[in-house]
Structures are given as C-alpha cells and as structure tokens.
Amino acid sequence: MHVTSASLVPYNTFGLNHTAEQLVELTTREQLQSLWQAYPQMPLLVGEGSNLLFTEAYAGLVLVNRLKGKQITETEDAWLVKVEGGENWHQLVCWCLEHGMPGLENLSLIPGTVGASPVQNIGAYGVELAQFCSQVESFDWQSGEYKTWSVAECDFGYRDSVFKHEARSHLIVSVTFCLPKAWQPVLGYGPLAELGEAATAAEIFERVCATRQAKLPDPAVLGNAGSFFKNPKVVTAQAEALKLAWPALPVFAAEPGLSKLAAGWLIEQADLKGVQVGGAGVHTQQALVLVNHGGATAADVLQLAALVRERVEQRFGVRLEPEVRMIGAAGETYLDEALACLN
C-alpha cells in the first residue's frame, strides 16, 4: 500500500494545480480492508477526475479507483456484463461493441470510469446508464462490508443517484450491465435522427464520437470537466413562455409538469461564448463547457461559473445548477460555499 502526499493534477481533467494530503491508488480489493482499518474517515473517491473541480488543497486521503476486470454471463435474452469500477468507461463501450453486445453506443466518449458512472447516472443522446444497469456492488466505509444494490435501490434520477446522497459512504467496486439481445437503436436526439431506423450500433457509435469530438475539447489539450452545468428543469408553463419569446430554444419533455431546457443554448444566447475570467473561459464551440486556457485557478473557474449563472438568470429567469462535483479542503462543497471561501 503506497500512501504519499501528491499533486492532484493527474487526477482532475481540469488540470488545476492542487494537492492531497495523502493519496492511494486502489488496484486490488484486498487493499480495501486494510485501508478501511487504517483510515476510519471516509476517503475522497476518485476515478479519472473527469467530473471534479478541486476548489482548494484536499486535507485528507484521496483513494483512486484502479480496479480492473470484466466478466460475461449470458441468458436467453441478454448479456450480463460485470465490470470492475476502475475500468475506463469509453473503453468498455468499445469492448462491448467489439464482442457483439450493443446498447451503450449512445454513451460513447463520456469521460471517466465505470465506478463513477452510476453516481451521476451518466447519460447522452436519449440514453441513461440506469436503462442498462442490472446491479451495483459497493464497499461501505462505515461498516467495512460489501453491499449489492438493485436498480430500484440505486434511486436513479437525472444525473443523480442514491450514491450522491444517503450512500455517500459507499465506494463502487463493480457495476453489472444487462444488454438485451433484442437491440433497438435510440435515434431521437440531435444528429442521430439523420441516420434513419436502419442504423447499426457501429454507425451510432461513430456518429456520437464524431459529434462529441467536434463540440467538446479534449481534456488532454484543453483542461475541462465536460458539461459544467445541468440542463435545467422548469415547469412546463415557464418553458412554453420561454419558447414563445425564443422559438429556437430547445425544449425536451421531462417528468409530468416539467420540461428540460438546453443549458448550453441558454449560455450561448446570453453572449457568454469565449468569455474569460483569468485563465478560465467559456468554450467557443460548446458553451456548456468551461475550460482551462492555461494556468487557471479554482478561483477563476468559480467566478466564471458564477458569472454564467448570473447572466443566464438575468436574461431567462432560469437558474443553472452545476453538474460538476466541487471538492473543498474537507470534501464536497457547492458553488456559493466555495465562492464564500475565496473571500
């Protein structure tokens, strides 16, 4: 077990220069029991840091999930694929397609690990992880025991799950996916609709990858954490009123009585594309993404996020909520709390 003070630059795709008091890479399940005994306080769990914003140095243990492995079992109707939490998400999508098991292709090129995917209930182009999740296996840092969660127990919502709330003491060690053999393409969103009903899983995969690469900056080239804000949900009457005023506004059905708006469109229409605060900026191609142009500080990113939220609310009466998970010195924090710490 290797424990050391470490830079967090390799562990957050924003590339912000913060440190952790201690850091361990978890490569075997056997490490968990000894770590749990040595560190009674829950560590900060990190996969590839693709949805994290460190707002200051972390005063504790960072545990990086590097558990690897895949197992396939087969039923008459579906493939069940059990995947260890440290596996790269996009590589899993590619591997499933290579082995003739489609279903996850709409979720191609989403950054991060398999272990992080249920926490956010990742989703894109009309598909969410919850549709294919069979069960989640976790290690509870409070009890030192493993637990298996059914889909119902995961309480999945829009970019949400039980693991962001009541089960925050749980480290996800594996996820089992159920991929039906009776595959059906999901083509209702954006450029996928152009493919037509005869589209193959490989064609959907290629179109999703091309679309994301055209719009979203590569974190290895331009530091970012993907979509910074959630697409806001508003009451349908408000969405209809906004649509009357701005006919081009993309509006999607959500649960009864609510509609979902495209946050990126709102940000762009608030004339925020390319706006910078210090080294942080709103991406010129995709306004939903905040980027590190080089040397950005957490303060730059936080102040830019606050500016975006303020301008959108002033123009549209809609308050944006960050999708990115913010981490302060003692753990989870939020935009207003993190901003207050700057003063």
Helix ranges (DSSP H) in 158-200: none
Any catalytic annotation for residue 159?
yes
Q: Are 53 and 12 in contact, with CB atoms under 8 Å apart?
A: yes
Q: Indicate the helix (H) or strand (E) that contains 211.
A: helix 201-215
3-state SS assignment for residue 161: coil
Q: 36 near 138, Cβ under 8 Å? A: no
Residues 6+ apart with CB under 8 A from 75: none
Q: Considering 48, 207, 323, 325, which one is annotated as catalytic?
A: 323
Question: Any catalytic annotation for residue 323?
Answer: yes
Is residue 260 helix, strand or coil? strand
Residue 339 contacts residue 306 (beta carbons within 8 Å):
yes
Catalytic residue among 87, 227, 309, 311: 227
Exposed, middle or buried: residue 21 (CB in 10 Å: 0-12, 13-18, 19+)?
middle
| H or E stretch covering 170 | strand 170-180
Helix (H) or strand (E) holding 225: strand 223-227
Token representation of residue 148: 């298996």
Any idea what DSSP says for residue 157? Answer: B
User: Tokens for 130?
Assistant: 């919850």
- The H or E element containing residue 201 is helix 201-215
- Give the active site residues: 159, 227, 323
